[in-house]
């Protein structure tokens, strides 16, 4: 019997507003159309809708065989600021907004109890309390390790590999997630549901104009 997830998929939240509030549109908007710099821009909402079809195709045929419909979805908490930094990182609506259409389609409640800095605890929960396929939606700075960052080995991927004692995967990106890329799914597989992950694949979303087939 499986005692953990057999597949973990990770996406970055969808498109966001420019960093500086003095820059011109596109502006972030919430689900009611109100301007909100912590929310997705219109293009990001379009991607969110596309992700519902990507991960839960009505025809039952996936765009890529590595994808699967998640039985659990995690997103960073939209209301709790990150607690590891001083001053704390502001909370963001975007990771949850990105998977909102998919979660509604699947009629499941996203797990949002972990703030954006608590990805170690989030990964522990994924590996300890879930089975089947899990989807994680997070901010890009925390997904892949950054060799030039202040904590080069501190990331969601690092936690996944260390907590499962995975050492044999050599095709994982060596650098941080590129700031301009919103269009990739990272897929980790372990068919037995326990032990180390046995394979890693990058799956291009190819949902919107300008999405790239190139790996990150």
CA dihedral 52, 53, 58, 63 (to 10 degrees): -140
- With the C-alpha atoms ordered 90, 94, 97, 98, is the resulting torsion angle positive or negative? negative
**Least-confidence region, from 6-15, 38-47, 70-79, 167-176:** 167-176
Residue 144 within any structural domain of the chain? yes
Residue 125's pLDDT band, with cuts at 50, 70 and 90, is: very high
Domains identified in the chain, total number: 1
Residue 41 within any structural domain of the chain? yes
Mean pLDDT of 187-206: 97
pLDDT at residue 1, as a whole number: 42
Which residues constitute the domain of residue 110? Answer: 9-204
Alpha helices (runs of H) in the chain, residue ranges in sequence order: 42-55, 94-106, 119-129, 156-163
What pLDDT, in 10s, does the model give residues 7-52? Answer: 999 999 999 998 766 667 899 999 999 999 999 999 999 999 999 9
Residue 1 within any structural domain of the chain? no
Rounded percentage of the chain residues whose pLDDT exceeds 90: 81
Question: What does the mean pLDDT of the chain come to?
Answer: 92
Mean pLDDT of 57-66: 93
Residue 214 within any structural domain of the chain? no
Token duo for residue 144: 């892949």
Give me the CATH number covering residue 93. 3.40.50
pTM of the model: 0.94
Statement: residue 83 has pLDDT above 80: no
């Amino acid at each position: 019997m499986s005692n953990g997830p057999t597949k973990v998929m990770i996406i970055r939240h969808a498109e966001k507003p420019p960093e500086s509030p003095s820059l011109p549109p596109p502006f972030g908007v919430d689900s009611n159309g109100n301007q909100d710099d912590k929310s997705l821009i219109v293009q990001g909402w379009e991607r969110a809708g596309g992700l519902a079809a990507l991960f839960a195709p009505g025809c039952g045929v996936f765009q890529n065989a590595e994808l699967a419909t998640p039985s659990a979805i995690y997103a960073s908490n939209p209301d709790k600021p990150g607690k590891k930094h001083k001053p704390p990182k502001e909370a963001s609506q975007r990771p949850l907004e990105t998977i909102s259409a998919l979660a509604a389609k699947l009629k499941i409640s996203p797990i949002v109890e972990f703030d954006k800095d608590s990805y170690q605890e989030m990964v522990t929960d994924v590996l300890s309390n879930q089975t089947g396929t899990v989807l994680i939606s997070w901010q890009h700075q925390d997904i892949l390790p950054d060799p030039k960052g202040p904590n080069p080995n501190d990331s969601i991927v690092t936690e996944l590999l260390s907590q499962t004692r995975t050492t044999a995967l050599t095709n994982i990106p060596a650098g941080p997630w590129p700031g301009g890329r919103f269009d990739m799914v990272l897929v980790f597989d372990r068919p037995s549901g326990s032990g180390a992950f046995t394979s890693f694949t990058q799956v291009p979303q190819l949902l919107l104009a300008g999405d790239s087939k190139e790996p990150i």
